[in-house]
Chain A
Amino acid sequence: MPDQILPLTYIVSAVLFIFGIKMLGSATTARKGNLLSSLGMLLAIVATLFHQEVLTYQWIIVGLVAGAVIGAFAARIVQMTAMPELVALFNGFGGAASMLVGWAEFAKVTDPTGQHLTFQAFVIFLAIFIGGITFTGSVIAWGKLSGKISGSPMVFPGQKFMNAGLILGTFAVGVAFSLVQDQPLAGTLLYVFLGLSLLLGVLAVIPIGGGDMPVVISLLNSMSGLAACAAGFVIQNTVLVVAGSLVGASGLILTVIMCKAMNRTLLNVVLGGFGGTKSSGAAGEGGEMKPMSVEDAYYVLEAASKVMVIPGYGMAVAQAQHAVKELADLLESNGCEVTFAIHPVAGRMPGHMNVLLAEADVPYEQLQEMDDANPQLPITDVAIVIGANDVVNPAAVEDEGSPIYGMPIINAHHARTCFCLKRGQGTGFSGLQNKLFGMDNVRMIYGDAKATITGLVTEFKESS
């Protein structure tokens, strides 16, 4: 293949990625955008197969087939409630791949005839550093999201200092790696910062609580792009640099959106141990929680003419989205107006609730963003909070001492009556007392969210 064709194909790929990402930002074009970007990827892969350095194809075929089978299988069987952990895992794989590409490139230049170039070595360090953190960080996030390891923050004294020291130390090793001319020594240094980077990924994510996961996932997503970008500098490949930096930038935007939704700056999140402080906050005791039976809740709902559902992570855990949709349909046929109010950080990844409700066929028109939902709440008869906690906690507005003070919330307490579906009387993921639960117009319905909703559905069906 003539020399120019490969870079020209990469330009076409880059254009397809740009259009793909652009179209992913609008509901009507999103699916087509994803298709376009996958076309760009296919083009880049096919063109690379003709690359002059690609000499044998046996292992390529093995790798492509194995990866495609695993990826396709995982994408097909995953349940929508398990989407955050799958995205985290894929993300980790991307980071690991960039890390390995950097490492492989070093293994090539250690060739006796090879020359150790400072810049080349430094970008190898960056690819391994960013890729390694993305890899182990994502794996820890996956473990937390899927419940394989505890979702609560793991903090110990001096953690921040240790992490900061580790980052500086790893960078120092990286700089030394770039400067030494001695290949065997450079090889040893590579193993050192490889290990340190992997360790950093673990240490950076373990102090993060489950409620802060949307920020972390977005940030890791951004980093996997930057890792690919660094790998692009290593092999001097334009399409890697362009695609990687596009993802890096778009991931960062999403991260900032998530931070704003929690009223925290990015710096505060990065340095603040990701909500590790939350566990130490003790809000004042609220009033007494007033439990209510499913049957009584039914009578209230039966008489309601405007109901707002406020879902949270608990809905995902209980897999209650289909039951919720059924209840919403019954309420509507009973002459009641039903809407869903969605907080930007409800759930464990950005847009988590939207995906679940879409799976259950809830029409898009029924979904409201926080700013549109809040003015509606004072004229709402019943607000049903399903497994949401911090995002409806009035302490965020009223209590200056609260760790979540300043975070915008959905004002569920403004509704005439508010039902809170909750598994038990504990404080939930963030370990924070929720003021909402003790308020006069709030009734607690304890039990599994799905069982409760199904119970309400049955009441409706029996009485009609």
Chain B
Amino acid sequence: MDLITLLFIFTLAVFLGFELISKVPSQLHTPLMSGSNAISGITIVGALISSGSGQNDLAQWLGLAALILATVNVVGGYLVTDRMLGMFKKKGGDQ
């Protein structure tokens, strides 16, 4: 993967991100934030590669620490977002 391709992907993704959620009802601000926060835990992919290198060195231990933190971010983030959205949904059913 060369640098220019990555930069190109980055640029497109930023524009896409701006377009995706231009209008969000304020009711959804918190779930959107915690849901996108869970997505930022994607750094878990990098942590997996470092922690699984099998070389008993600094890189692996840093990777392990990163893996634990990223997993907390991912699992906790998705679950708590789902819990919040569940409360919004329950009401819709009542009405």
What is the interface of chain A, defined by CB distance below 8 A to chain B? 17-18, 20-22, 24-28, 30-31, 33-35, 37-38, 41, 44-45, 48-49, 51, 53-57, 59-60, 62-64, 66-68, 70-72, 74-76, 78, 80, 83, 86-87, 90-91, 93-94, 96-101, 103-105, 107-108, 119, 217-218, 221, 224-225, 227-229, 231-254, 257, 342, 344, 349-352, 354-355, 358-359, 361-365, 367, 369
- Nearest A residue (CB) for B66: A100
Q: Is the CB of A25 within 8 A of B24?
A: yes
User: Nearest Cβ in chain B — how far from A388, in angstroms?
Assistant: 15
Cβ of B67: which chain A residues have Cβ within 8 Å of it?
A: 59-60, 63-64, 67, 97
Across the interface, do A236 and B85 meet the contact criterion of CB distance under 8 Å?
no
Decide: A233 near B66, CB < 8 A? Known: A21-B39, A37-B35, A224-B40. no
Beta-carbon contacts of B77-95 to A below 8 Å, as 1s and 0s?
A: 1111111111111111011
Report whether B69 and A365 are in contact in the complex, using a CB–CB cutoff of 8 Å: no
CB distance from A16 to the nearest CB of B (A): 10
CB distance A27 to B25 under 8 Å? yes
Q: Nearest-CB distance from A190 to chain B (Å)?
A: 12
Are B36 and A104 within 8 A (Cβ)?
A: no
**Measured between alpha carbons, how far is A369 from B92 in the docked complex, in Å?**
18
Chain A residues with Cβ under 8 A from B10's Cβ?
A: 229, 233, 241, 245
The smallest beta-carbon distance between A405 and chain B, in angstroms, is: 23
Interface size on B (CB < 8 Å)? Answer: 83
The one of B9, B62, B73, B95 that contacts A93, using a Cβ cutoff of 8 Å: B73
Instruction: Give the CA-CA distance A214 to B66 in the complex, in Å.
Output: 27
For the complex, what is the distance from the CA of A93 to the CA of B63, rounded to whole Å?
13
> Which label, helix, strand, loop or mixed, suits the secondary structure of the B interface?
helix
Inter-subunit contact A30/B85 (CB<8 Å): yes
Map CB proximity to A onto B39-68 as digits: 1 under 8 Å, 0 otherwise.
111111111111111100111101111111
Minimum Cβ distance to chain A for residue B31 (Å):
6
Known contacts A27-B25, A55-B54, A240-B46; A17 and B39 CB within 8 A of each other: yes
Asked if B89 and A31 sit within 8 Å, CB to CB, the answer is yes
Verify B77–A56 contact, CB threshold 8 A: no
Min CB distance A46 to B, Å, is: 10
Question: By the criterion CB–CB under 8 Å, are B35 and A351 in contact?
Answer: no
Complexed CA–CA distance, A355 and B59 (Å): 40
B30 touches A97 (CB 8 A): no
**7 A-B pairs with the lowest CB-CB distances in the bound complex, closest first:** A67-B71, A249-B17, A351-B29, A71-B76, A63-B67, A350-B29, A71-B75
19 contacts between A and B (CB under 8 A): A53-B49, A63-B47, A63-B64, A67-B67, A71-B77, A83-B34, A94-B70, A97-B70, A100-B65, A101-B63, A104-B50, A218-B33, A221-B36, A237-B46, A241-B13, A244-B40, A250-B36, A351-B29, A361-B91
Give Cα A60 to B46, complex, Å: 12
Q: A30-B88, A240-B46, A241-B13 are in contact. Are A55 and B53 (CB under 8 A)?
A: yes
Please give, as numbers and ranges, the residues of chain B lying within 8 Å of A369 by CB-CB distance.
25-26
Residues of B within 8 A of A24 (CB): 21, 24, 28, 31-32, 35-36
Q: Which residues of A sit under 8 angstroms from B28, Cβ to Cβ?
A: 24-27, 30, 351, 354
A residues in contact with B16, CB < 8 Å? 18, 246, 249
Q: Chain A residues with Cβ under 8 A from B43's Cβ?
A: 94, 97-98, 101, 227-228, 231-232, 240, 244
B78 touches A21 (CB 8 A): no
Shortest CB-to-CB span from B83 to chain A, Å, is 7
Chain B residues whose C-beta falls within 8 Å of the C-beta of A232 in the assembled complex: 6, 42-43, 46
